[in-house]
């Protein structure tokens, strides 16, 4: 489903527009009936577009996967910078093909325009209009993907740099578990999935982020996930998005210019595994010693220092880290 399936209206100060072709470039803002959740698309667009011309924001009630959608667009030659946010993903993905669950607190049985907002279609491609799209139910997680052309000299450590940006924007008590998870104590609160598509000499990066906002079902999970409301009571998905979106764009641009090196010390300061004994997927155990300037995890084993560079290698602490360590 895309935003054209729901009613929308231009935000104050932005021209109203008619229906757009699929994927029209516009900043969209959602409102949730009852809870009156309003997405800060306009504020994000205004913060980002001066430093990233052509940037747009799209927010949709439901989609299979925000990462999958932006990769589809990239393979079709659409390489414009865009932030795509979904209230609900039906086929969200995590690292190694794992499923990422996202959804709403209340089943969405109908859609209606928010109070005071007339129903309108999406803006034509290239418009900078912001819109309100209404749906029933507040989201229990924040799921979005940021897509943009990127050309760093070295891609090593990109997911780590993204993690640094996310935790710095959210809460000082959050920690990073190499290579792409956000932890609070010994529980996962957020995950990162990065994919790229090449078109000739151009390379397009899609950075997917999923953040638990409210308490989630833990059935089938060995450890119940953490959620942001535990640290920031009352926070909702739109507020979290406003915190992380613009700083994430800036972090990606900094990574493009300087690589991972400027992020190294900040990652190690929030490293959830640092100093702990960890076990690798091949059975090797050792002490985690943080990451190097290229983002490789350093593990001191009985055979010597081992540097882990592949995200295909699973790294787990032998026992949950003590809270005082985190």
- The 3-state secondary structure of 80-112 reads CCEEEEEEEECCCECHHHCECCCCECCCCCCCC
- The domain segmentation of the chain, as residue ranges, is 3-266, 273-317
What is the pLDDT at residue 39? 96
What is the percent of the chain with per-residue pLDDT over 70, rounded to a whole number? 69
Q: How confident is the model at residue 97 (pLDDT cuts 50, 70, 90)?
A: very low
Which residues are within 8 A (CB) of 25 and not within 5 positions of it... i.e. 6 or more apart?
54, 56, 80, 82, 123, 125, 126, 127
Q: What is the mean pLDDT of the chain?
A: 78
Relative to beta strand 187-199, strand 202-212 is antiparallel
Show the tokens assigned to 297: 């995890």
Residue 214 has pLDDT above 80, yes or no: yes
Candidate from 34-38, 128-132, 170-174, 273-277 with smallest mean pLDDT:
128-132
Residue 31 has pLDDT above 50, yes or no: no
Helix, strand, or coil (residue 293): coil
pLDDT average, residue stretch 67-92: 93
The CATH code of the domain at 3-266 is: 3.30.930.10
What is the pLDDT at residue 138? 54
pLDDT average, residue stretch 117-143: 46
What is the pLDDT at residue 91? 76
What is the pLDDT at residue 216? 79
Residue 136 has pLDDT above 80, yes or no: no
Show the tokens assigned to 255: 């990574």
What is the pLDDT at residue 104? 46
Q: Is the dihedral of CA 161, 165, 170, 174 positive or negative?
A: positive
Cα–Cα distance measured from residue 169 to residue 211, given in angstroms and rounded to the nearest whole number: 13
Give the right CATH number for 273-317 from 3.40.47.10, 2.30.30.100, 1.10.3720.10, 3.40.50.2300: 2.30.30.100
Residue 52 has pLDDT above 70, yes or no: yes
* Global confidence as pTM: 0.78
What is the pLDDT at residue 92? 60
What is the pLDDT at residue 288? 95
Q: How many Cα atoms sit within 13 Å of 299 on the Cβ side?
A: 25
Domain pair 3-266 / 273-317, same fold = no
What is the pLDDT at residue 317? 78
What is the pLDDT at residue 119? 27
Q: How far apart are the first and last CA of the chain?
A: 40
Cα–Cα distance measured from residue 209 to residue 85, given in angstroms and rounded to the nearest whole number: 10
């Amino acid at each position: 489903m895309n935003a054209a399936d729901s009613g929308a209206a231009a935000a104050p100060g932005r021209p109203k527009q008619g229906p757009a072709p699929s994927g029209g470039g516009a900043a969209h803002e959602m409102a949730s009936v009852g809870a009156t959740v309003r997405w800060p698309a306009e504020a994000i667009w205004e913060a980002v577009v001066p430093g990233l011309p052509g940037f747009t924001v799209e927010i949709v009630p439901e989609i299979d996967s925000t990462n999958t959608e932006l990769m589809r667009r990239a393979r079709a030659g659409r390489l414009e910078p865009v932030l795509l946010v979904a209230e609900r993903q039906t086929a969200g993905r995590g690292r190694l093909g794992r499923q990422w669950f996202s959804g709403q607190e209340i089943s969405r049985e109908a859609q209606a325009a928010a109070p005071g907002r007339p129903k309108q279609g999406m803006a034509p491609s290239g418009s900078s209009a912001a819109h309100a799209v209404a749906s029933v139910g507040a989201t229990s997680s924040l799921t979005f993907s940021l897509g943009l052309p990127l050309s760093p000299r070295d891609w090593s450590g990109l997911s780590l740099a993204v993690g640094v940006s996310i935790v710095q924007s959210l809460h000082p008590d959050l920690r990073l578990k190499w290579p792409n998870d956000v932890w609070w104590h010994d529980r996962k609160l957020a995950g990162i999935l990065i994919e790229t598509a090449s078109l000739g000499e151009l390379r397009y990066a899609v950075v997917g982020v999923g953040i638990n906002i409210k308490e989630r079902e833990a059935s089938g999970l060995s450890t119940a996930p953490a959620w942001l409301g535990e640290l920031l009571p009352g926070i909702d998905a739109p507020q979290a998005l406003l915190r992380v979106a613009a700083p994430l764009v800036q972090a990606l641009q900094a990574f493009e210019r300087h690589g991972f090196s400027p992020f190294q010390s900040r990652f190690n300061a929030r490293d959830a595994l640092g100093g702990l004994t960890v076990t690798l997927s091949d059975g090797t155990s050792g002490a985690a010693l943080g990451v190097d300037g290229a983002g490789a995890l350093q593990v001191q084993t009985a055979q010597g220092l081992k540097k882990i560079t592949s995200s295909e290698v699973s790294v787990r602490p032998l026992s949950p880290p003590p809270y005082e360590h985190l």
